[in-house]
Structure 1
Amino acid sequence: MIKALIFDKDGTLFDFRRSWGAWVEALLPVLTPDVGRQAILSEVLGYDRARGDFLPSSPVIAGTAHEIAESLVPHLPGEAVETLAARMNAGAAEARMVPAVPLRPLFLTLRARGLLIGLATNDSELPARRHLEAHDLLDLFDFVAGYDSGFGGKPAPGQLLAFADQCDLHPTQVGMVGDSRHDMVAAANAGMARIAVLTGIALADELAPHADVVLPHIGALPDWLDSLPPASAAGKAAHGAKAT
C-alpha cells in the first residue's frame, strides 16, 4: 500500500527547460562579461543558448550546486568553488520556477487521500524551500531535503530513507516521483516504487527501463493511483498514521 510520495523538484514539480533555462541566461553575464567565456561556460553547463535547451548530459539536470561550481571554476580564474556555489544558491533561490501542472490543487488532492508528501532534491535546501513557498506549497510537505540537508544527494538513497524513517513507513510503502535516471536509481536503492515523469530532459525510452511507470506529468498521479490494485492503492490512513 502506497502511503507516501517523495518528489524530485526540478523537472518534476517544475518544468525544467522553462525554469532553469532562464536561470542560466541570467547567471552567465553575472559570472563574466566576456561573451566568448560565456560561450565556454554555457558549453560546460550543457546548455544550448541558440535553442534555449539543455543537453541530456548537462550537470544542471541532476548535479548539486557544489558539483556545478566545480565544473565552472576551471574557466573562472580567481573563483573558488565554495564561493561560487554560495552565489549560485542565492541566485537559484530567487529563480522563477514554472509549474509543470497546477500544483496546489494536485497536492491538496494527494493529501486528501491520506498520503504523506516529501521533497528530495539535489538543489540546496534553502532554494527548495523558497520555491515551495513561492508556489504556496510548503505547508503541504512533511519533509524537505536538499543535498546539503545531511542525508546526501541522489542517486544515493539517504534522502528517501530519511523521509520513510520520519514517516515511520517501510520504504516499500513509499513512491519516488522524478524525471531523471538519478531519481529512479535513488528509488531503486531505497527499495521504493519508481514513478517517472516527462517534464524534465529525459525521454520515455530512457526512463522506462529504470521505472515502474512513466507518466506524462505529476498531474497524472491520481489516475495512476486509482488504477492500482486495492492492496497497492493510496493509503487510507489519516495524515501522520503509522505503518502497520
Structure 2
Amino acid sequence: MIKGIIFDKDGTLFDFNATWGTWTRGMLEAEAKGDPAVFDALADAMGFDVDANQFRPDSIVIAATVDETADCILSAIPDKDKDALLARMNAATAQVTQVEAVPLADYFSGLAALGLRLGIATNDAEAPARAHLDRAGVTGHFEFIAGYDSGHGGKPAPGQLHAFCAHTGLDATNCLMVGDSTHDLHAGQAAGMRTVGVLTGPSPHAELAPFADIVLPDIGAIPGWLKSENLIAL
C-alpha cells in the first residue's frame, strides 16, 4: 500500500516550459548583456530552443541542480563569478510565477484527505522552492521539503528520498516518487520506491517509461491510478 508520496517540483507540480521558457530567455539576455554571440552560446549550452521559447528534451537544465546549471552558464561566460551568479539565480527564480500543472491547493487537500504523507525533493535550492510552494498556497501540506542544498544531496542519488522516509517513519516500499525526469525516477528506484513519471516536463513518454511503474499525463491522474491498482486504502 502507498502511504507516502514525494514529489519533484519543476515539471511535476508546475508545468516546466510554461513556467521557465519566458523567464529563461530574459535571464540569458541579461547575462549576455546585449551580445548576440554570447546569447547564442548560452542558449546552446543550456539546451534552450530560442525559436520555440522552451527547453529541448536533452537539456541539462531539466534535472540539474542550480549549482550544475550555474556551471553550464559559466561554460559559455567563464569570466563570471559563480557565487554572484548563484545569488542572482536564486533571487530571481524565487520570484518566478509558476504555472500549476493542476490546481494544486485542491489537489493536495484531496491527497491529505486520503491520509497520504507528502514531501518534496527538488534539485532547486530549498529557499526558492519554498517560495514557490508558499505562492501556490500548498506549503502546509508537506511535512518534508528538500532542495539540493538541504544536506541530503540531489537527484538522481536517493538521499532526499531516504531522508523523507526517515522523517516520516515510512518504509520506502510504501512510498511513491513522482517526477518528470529520469533523475527523479532513478532516485526513486535507488531508494526502493515505486515511481510515477509525468508528462508536464520536457521528457517524452518513451524516455520515462523504462524507469517508471506508470507514466501519466500529470499528477492529477495519480489518485485514480492508485485506486485502480488497489494501492491505497479507501
**TM-score by shorter chain over 0.5:** yes
Instruction: Write out the 4+ residue segments of structure 1 that deviate beyond 4 Å after TM superposition.
Output: none
Deviation per residue, 1:49-88 (Å, 9 max, x gap):
1111211221210111111111111322531222212211
Specify the alignment match of 1:28 in structure 2.
28
Q: Structure 1: how far apart are the matches of 2:82 and 2:190?
A: 29
**Aligned-CA RMSD value:** 1.1
| Percent identity of paired positions between Structure 1 and Structure 2 | 48
Matches within 5 A, 1:29-178: 29-33=29-33, 34-178=35-179
Q: Secondary structure at the match of 1:222?
A: helix
Deviation per residue, 1:82-130 (Å, 9 max, x gap):
2212211111111111001111111000000000110000000011000
Q: Structure 1: how far apart are the matches of 2:23 and 2:154?
A: 21
Matches within 5 A, 1:169-188: 169-188=170-189
Specify the alignment match of 2:212 in structure 1.
211
Q: Structure 2: how far apart are the matches of 1:61 and 1:77?
A: 22
TM-score (norm 2): 0.96
In the alignment, is residue 220 of structure 1 matched against residue 228 of structure 2? no
Does structure 2 conserve the Cα–Cα contact (< 8 Å) formed by 1:111 and 1:140?
Answer: yes
When the two structures are aligned, how many residues end up with a matched partner?
A: 233
Q: Structure 2: how far apart are the matches of 1:77 and 1:150?
A: 28
Give, as a single letter, the amino acid of the residue that structure 2 aligns with 1:57: D
Q: Structure 1: how far apart are the matches of 2:43 and 2:197?
A: 27
TM-score (norm 1): 0.93
Does structure 1 conserve the Cα–Cα contact (< 8 Å) formed by 2:57 and 2:204?
Answer: no
Give, as a single letter, the amino acid of the residue that structure 2 aligns with 1:4: G
Q: CA deviation at 1:204?
A: 1.0
Q: CA deviation at 1:233?
A: 1.4
Q: Which moved more, 1:58-67 or 1:122-131?
A: 58-67
Q: Structure 2: how far apart are the matches of 1:157 and 1:142?
A: 18
Q: Structure 2: how far apart are the matches of 1:97 and 1:75?
A: 27
Where do 5+ consecutive residues of structure 2 fail to align?
none
Deviation per residue, 1:3-40 (Å, 9 max, x gap):
00000001100000101112201201221221221111
Where do 5+ consecutive residues of structure 1 fail to align?
237-244
Q: CA deviation at 1:45?
A: 0.9
